């Protein structure tokens, strides 16, 4: 796994170790996730993206369609723009706020393990084997894999904001 991404996930893990359970689950205001919900979201999204890498690897039919304009813009930037993205309300978009620190830590370890498994293989997968993303269009295995890092980097700003609201003096 690329050193920068592994270091980023390890950074998330080190911060997680220092939060109390109360800090992890505290919701600062209506409609804003807790730190724990943000971690749960990151883990579930990353595992979903990596499942899509696996789906691309198992595909047997090429997909001629490509990314949407939003997807092209995202990959041209190399990450999400520094704006807040509000997911539509619903059970699939409301992360759990009851996970333990240990459970979240295991989830981050699982992301690292799956990324390590795919890292050496992702570029051998036919780039025309794709899975559709709801906002970015048809992505191949490499794009799904890269989306994991983009997503973790994107949530650093939210993590900092939540820590500030909790009065945490962390960097």
Distance CA 16, CA 133 (A): 29
CATH code assigned at 141: 1.20.120.450
Tell me the two tokens of residue 166: 């909790």
Distances (CA, A) of 80 to 25, 83, 85, 87, 170: 26, 8, 10, 14, 23
Answer whether residue 171 is part of any domain. Answer: no
**Tens of pLDDT, residues 114-133:** 999 999 999 999 999 999 99
What DSSP designation does 137 have?
Answer: E
Please tell me the total count of domains within the chain: 1
Answer whether residue 127 is part of any domain. Answer: yes
2 band by pLDDT with thresholds 50, 70 and 90: confident
Is residue 99 predicted with pLDDT exceeding 80? yes
- The confidence score (pLDDT) of residue 122 equals 97
**Tens of pLDDT, residues 132-150:** 999 999 999 999 999 999 9
Answer whether residue 170 is part of any domain. Answer: no
Answer whether residue 65 is part of any domain. Answer: yes
What is the span of the domain harbouring residue 116?
A: 3-165
Is residue 1 predicted with pLDDT exceeding 80? no
Answer whether residue 71 is part of any domain. Answer: yes
Answer whether residue 50 is part of any domain. Answer: yes
**Tens of pLDDT, residues 45-70:** 999 999 999 999 999 999 999 999 99
Contact 25, 36 (CB under 8 A): yes
* Mean pLDDT of the residues in the chain: 93
Name which of 29, 12, 26 is nearest 159 in CA terms.
Answer: 12
Tell me the two tokens of residue 168: 């945490």
């Amino acid at each position: 796994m690329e050193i920068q991404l592994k270091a980023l996930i390890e950074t998330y893990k080190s911060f997680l170790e220092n939060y109390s359970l109360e800090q992890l689950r505290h919701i600062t205001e209506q409609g804003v996730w807790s730190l724990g919900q943000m971690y749960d979201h990151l883990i579930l999204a990353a595992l979903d993206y990596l499942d899509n890498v696996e789906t691309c690897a198992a595909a047997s039919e090429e997909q001629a369609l490509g990314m949407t304009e939003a997807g092209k813009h995202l990959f041209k930037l190399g990450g999400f723009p520094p704006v807040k993205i509000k997911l539509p309300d619903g059970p699939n978009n409301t992360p759990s706020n009851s996970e333990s620190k240990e459970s979240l830590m295991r989830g981050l370890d699982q992301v690292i393990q799956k990324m390590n498994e795919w890292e050496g293989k992702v570029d051998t997968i036919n780039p025309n084997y794709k899975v559709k993303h709801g906002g970015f269009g048809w992505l191949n295995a490499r794009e799904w894999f890269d989306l994991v890092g983009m997503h973790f980097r994107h949530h650093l700003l939210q993590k900092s904001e939540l820590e500030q609201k909790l009065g945490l003096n962390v960097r």
